[in-house]
Amino acid sequence: MIVTGRVQGVGFRFFTQQVATEHEITGWVKNLTNGDVEIEAQASSNNLDAFLKKLKKGPGLFASVKDTKIDQVESIENEDSFRILY
């Protein structure tokens, strides 16, 4: 998933990790050089739906999610956590 908007320098990666943990999501989140954020996430469809709903709202006043582009990819086996990549 690619998230666009004001999503860097506003705690978006940390927020994403917290929401992922709440919804039993595995994967990762990282900043891209163009100002977007990339996310790889795996979970049940119900958990993913709840995760996406919260991400679209963002972490608060300073963040602003403009758009999310979602592409399905093959599952990554043996993922057991959600982490922030640097």
pLDDT digits (tens, 9 = 90+) for 7-49: 999 999 999 999 999 999 999 999 999 999 999 999 999 999 9
User: How many domains is the chain partitioned into structurally?
Assistant: 1
Q: Crossing angle, helix 45-57 and helix 12-22, to 10 degrees?
A: 150
From the candidates 31, 34, 78, 83, which is the catalytic residue? Answer: 31
- pLDDT tens digits along 70-83: 999 888 899 999 99
CATH of the domain at 42: 3.30.70.100
The predicted structure's pLDDT at residue 25? 98
User: Which residue range is the domain that position 16 belongs to?
Assistant: 2-84
Pairing of strands 26-31, 64-69: unpaired
Q: Is 83 an active-site residue?
A: no
pTM: 0.94
Report residue 60's pLDDT band, with 50, 70 and 90 as the boundaries: confident
Distance (Å) of CA 85 to CA 20, 27, 35, 49:
14, 10, 15, 23
pLDDT of residue 61 exceeding 90: no
